[in-house]
Structures are given as C-alpha cells and as structure tokens.
Amino acid sequence: MNTAPLLVGLGLRRGLMAELSSVKVGEVDFLECAPENWIGVGGAYGRDLSLLAERFPLACHGLSLSLGGCLPLNQTLLEQTRRFLDQHRVRLYSEHLSYCTDDGYLYDLMPIPFTEEAVHHVSARIRQVQDALQRRIAVENISYYAAPYQAMSELEFIRAVLDEADCDLLLDVNNVQVNACNHRYDAQAFLDGLPVARVTGMHVAGHHDEGPELKVDTHGAAVSPHVWSLFYSACKRFGIQPTVLERDFNYPTMAELLAEVARIRAVQQEAVDARSIA
C-alpha cells in the first residue's frame, strides 16, 4: 500500500479523464472521486479509473449517504462503498454534513437544522456509517442559502456533531467564505472556533459572486483571492492537511488547474514556514 503523504489533490471528474492521463506523478499527490459515480462502472471509464488508481492514490468524497436524512441509511450503498474503498485502498473518506433524500434522492445537498435534536440524529447516523465502513470518516461543512431553524450557530452545530459522533472534519474553505458572506459572520472567527485535532483534510474551490452580499458555491471558476487568503489562515491553524482542488465544470486547461494545485502546495509551505518562525 502506498503510504506517501497525501498533501495536494485534484478532483477526479469524467470531464477531465483524458487530460488526467497526462498528469505526471508529483504534480498531484492524489485524486479524489465520489464513489457513487464509479461503483459498478465498467467499459472505457472503468478501465481509465483503474489506470489512474494505479498511478495515484485515491481519496473518496461521498454524495449520497444523506447523513442528516430521515430515511434509513442505504445499507446496499454502504456495503458497495466499503468494497470500493477496500478495493482501491482508500485512506481518506468523507461525506457532506447534510441530507439529500426525501422519499427519494433530491440531487442536492440540503442543510440540517442547527438544533440539539439534529445533533443527536446526525451523530448517531455518522456512528452507524463508521461502523458499517469499518473506518473513521470526516464530514464536510456545506454551503447553504436558506437556513432552516437555528437554535445554535453553524459553528456550534458542527462542533457538537464532531464531539458526539467522534468523527473528523473535512474543512471546505470555500464554503466558509461563501457562508460567511451570505449569513453575515466572520470567516476567520469561524476557523478559530473549530477544534484543531478534528480537521483532517481541506477543499478549495471557486465560487460565483452574484452580488456584494451573495456568493454561490459553483466549483466552476478559479479560486478567489479571498479564499486563498483564508486557506493560508487555515493552514497556519490546522497545519498541512490533504487538500483537494475541486472543479466540476467550465474546465480550464490542465495547465491552469495544475497551476492552482501548485499554489495549494506553495501556500501550505508558506504557512508552515510562518508557524515555525512564530
């Protein structure tokens, strides 16, 4: 099993498959995919995934477990996911702190009410997932626009879930920037309130500025200067964690994507150097 450090990764998307085949080992440390998009896939795509998995370690970021949902957990999907993770020797697995089911899949990531009852509900489901997958998982802070009932802040809710579920956090830095703008809180204070020991990975991505007080998390643009600045602060606080550049559409050239990947690595090193001086 490849045990080299996973520092900088790129999201594995079908629209990038041809270009990814030309990426050299060392330009990225790993690739991240959604297992649901690849479970049972054969043919040319299945072959290409296997070839990439031979060259680069895979991390997985789930889309469909619906950790905050009310329907029973999909045991078939859990078993398929466990086999996929084992087959590809995946070291890092994460899911969204959200729900995506209501008498069927909604194909969107919906926010969970920030209440004590919801903390207990989602935490129990995370523990069930960890038992089924036989591994510790990380949950990701999502971007959201319409906020359901909030008896506590987003930060308080996330901290409570991490403690009760005893799981890790995949810190999406872009989502912090988007939510801080849309819901009027301080992004740096949010980072400062997160427990350092729980953060085991990060995401950076681009968003769309709909207006001065509305950002939309699109993963369809370059990473913004504000997100780069916040990512630097996150690296200073949480150290170097496996970090993925997410790009879901409106793809630039692979050279441009790799330049952003290289910038992740440079910011990580800059933050580490600043910590050592301090």
Kindly report, residue by residue over 78-128, the tens digit of the pLDDT.
999 999 999 999 999 999 999 987 767 666 788 999 999 999 999 999 999
Whether 195 shows a pLDDT value over 60: the answer reads yes
User: Which pLDDT score, from 0 to 100, does residue 183 have?
Assistant: 94
Separation of alpha carbons 219 and 223, rounded Å: 9
Pick from 264, 268, 263, 247: nearest CA to 19: 247
Per-residue pLDDT, averaged over 165-169, amounts to 98
Per-residue pLDDT, averaged over 196-212, amounts to 95
Neighbours of 176 (CB within 10 A): 25
User: Which pLDDT score, from 0 to 100, does residue 1 have?
Assistant: 56
User: Which pLDDT score, from 0 to 100, does residue 103 have?
Assistant: 67
**Secondary structure of residue 191 in the 3-state scheme:** helix
Task: Give 222's strand partners.
Answer: none
- Contacts with 203 (C-beta within 8 Å, 6 or more apart), sequence order: 140, 170, 171, 172, 173, 174, 175, 243, 244, 246
Pick from 58, 65, 64: nearest CA to 84: 58
Whether 275 shows a pLDDT value over 80: the answer reads no
Single-letter amino acid, residue 8: V
Whether 243 shows a pLDDT value over 70: the answer reads yes
Token output for 108? 């969107």
Which CATH fold would you assign to the domain 8-277?
TIM Barrel (3.20.20)
User: Which pLDDT score, from 0 to 100, does residue 146 have?
Assistant: 85
- Residue 134 zone, left/alpha/beta (φ > 0; ψ -120 to 50; rest): left
For the packed helices 75-87 and 116-133, what is the interaxial angle rounded to 10 degrees? 50
User: Which pLDDT score, from 0 to 100, does residue 236 have?
Assistant: 96
In whole angstroms, what separates CA 132 from the centre of its chain? 20
- Contacts with 253 (C-beta within 8 Å, 6 or more apart), sequence order: 19
User: Which pLDDT score, from 0 to 100, does residue 163 have?
Assistant: 98
Using CA atoms in the order 85, 90, 92, 94, what is the torsion angle rounded to 10 degrees? -20
For the packed helices 173-182 and 225-238, what is the interaxial angle rounded to 10 degrees? 120
Alpha helices in the chain (DSSP H): 17-20, 43-55, 75-87, 116-133, 154-165, 173-182, 187-193, 225-238, 254-277
Residues for the chain: how many in total? 278
Mean pLDDT of the chain: 94
* pTM for the whole structure: 0.95
Pick from 134, 57, 117, 123: nearest CA to 90: 57
User: Which pLDDT score, from 0 to 100, does residue 2 have?
Assistant: 65
Q: pLDDT digit string (tens) for 19-34?
A: 999 999 999 999 999 9
User: Which pLDDT score, from 0 to 100, does residue 278 have?
Assistant: 67
Whether 213 shows a pLDDT value over 90: the answer reads no
pLDDT confidence bin for 191, thresholds 50/70/90:
very high
